[in-house]
Homo-oligomer: A and B are copies of this chain.
Amino acid sequence: MDQKQAVTAFAALAQSTRLNVVRLLVKAGQEGMAAGALKDAVGASSSNLSFHLKELEHAGLIHSRRQSRSIIYSASFDGLSELIRFLTEDCCQGHPEVCGPFTTGSKFCCPEPENA
């Protein structure tokens, strides 16, 4: 992931309807949700939601697949993971202990012990 992709991804998350959608899809997991279900859940017009879904997909944060008449959207866990990793890269370089409260147990900052 480079700076430009990351800016695009953060911009995609920087809008209430879209953030709502991503959080719903993160909860939903692999199964995902149909565009219509998302529309009901977030209360947007269908054209507006479609615009936002396209932004999110373009940013690499969600995927879509057709299932009969519906289009099912799901979170891209890879995309989200890369984004967080980019943001927190080399966290507290040389002094990882200060990142503790931020990333205890996480691979994003302080590496986990080998024996984990």
A interface residues, Cβ below 8 angstroms from B = 3-4, 6-7, 10-11, 13-16, 19-20, 22-23, 26-30, 77-78, 80-81, 84, 86-95, 98-99, 101-108, 112, 116
A90 touches B16 (CB 8 A): no
Q: Which one, B4, B78, B92, contacts A26 given CB within 8 A?
A: B92
Q: Which one, B78, B89, B92, B93, contacts A102 given CB within 8 A?
A: B78
Known: A77-B102, A80-B87, A102-B78. A14 touches B16 (CB 8 A): no
- What are 23 A-B pairs at a CB distance below 8 A? A4-B16, A6-B13, A6-B19, A7-B13, A7-B16, A10-B11, A10-B19, A14-B14, A23-B86, A26-B90, A27-B89, A27-B91, A29-B91, A29-B93, A29-B98, A30-B95, A30-B98, A77-B101, A80-B88, A81-B102, A84-B84, A104-B107, A116-B116
